[in-house]
Amino acid sequence: DIQMTQSPSSLSASVGDRVTISCRSSQDINKFLNWYQQKPGKAPKLLICQVSSLQSGVPSRFSGSGSGTDFALTIGSLQPEDFATYFCQQSYTSPLTFGGGTKVEIK
Amino acid sequence: EVQLVESGGGLVQPGGSLRLSCVASGFTFKTYWMTWVRQPPGKGLEWVANINQDGTTKYSVDSVKGRFTISRDNVKNSLSLQMNSLRVEDTAIYYCARDFGIPGGWFDAWGQGILVTVSS
């Protein structure tokens, strides 16, 4: 199985900060890496698919980058509504696997 | 508007069975893969199983193989997950989601989730 490792597992940041979350896969997954945001008590929401394709309606302060085994989600200027948990997910092969999550908290 | 509504969750004893359903609306159900993802309380996401458009291709995580069966009814626009031989570790919120397949897919619409509790 492909292991997805996110870092950090949590971070504290202030409104306006630039935040980067890393995701590493245990083998090359090409460009098949997606990012989700989840708020407490809610279903996950797709932010970015295939490394860098922003979903419709997602603010442009979110961006994705990377290739092969190393990927990143960047929030350009953190807004109050961005405090949530973020998950990466590989869709290269079954079983599909998620990273452990990164909780973004208010500093 | 795309909508996915799960039902069928609840409390079941270890070794018991439960069948989850997910009814879809707002899109052409028969043209999409569909997936089940679960999340134990307070923990991360785990993909469970998915199924292609006509039900002929299915994938699942090893921990549910032989116990869970995914299926779909394209006339009723519904997705199902038959869960047998349930274990305490299957306790989770179960989400159905629209899927763009393997490889390269993503989950772009999710249901609200349904809680399954396995306990004696």
Which pLDDT belongs to residue B59?
Answer: 97
| Res A51 pLDDT > 90 | yes
Share of chain A above pLDDT 70, in %: 100
State the nearest Cα–Cα gap between B120 and chain A, in angstroms. 25
- The CA angle B25-B30-B32, to the nearest 5 degrees, is 90
Among chain B residues, CA nearest to A90: B104
- For B36-65, the DSSP string reads EEEE-TTS--EEEEEE-TTSS-EEE-GGGT
CA distance B93 to B46: 10
Phi-psi group of B54: left, alpha or beta (phi > 0 → left; psi -120 to 50 → alpha; rest → beta)? alpha
Which pLDDT belongs to residue B40?
Answer: 98
Among chain A residues, CA nearest to B93: A43
What dihedral do alpha carbons A75, A78, A84, A89 form, nearest 10°?
0
Across the range B110-119, mean pLDDT stands at 98
What is the number of helices (H) and of strands (E) in chain A? 0, 11
Tell whether B46 is within 8 A of chain A (Cβ).
Answer: yes
pLDDT 10s digits, A80-106: 999 999 999 999 999 999 999 999 998
Across the range B39-59, mean pLDDT stands at 97
Interface contact flag, B47 A101, Cβ < 8 Å: no
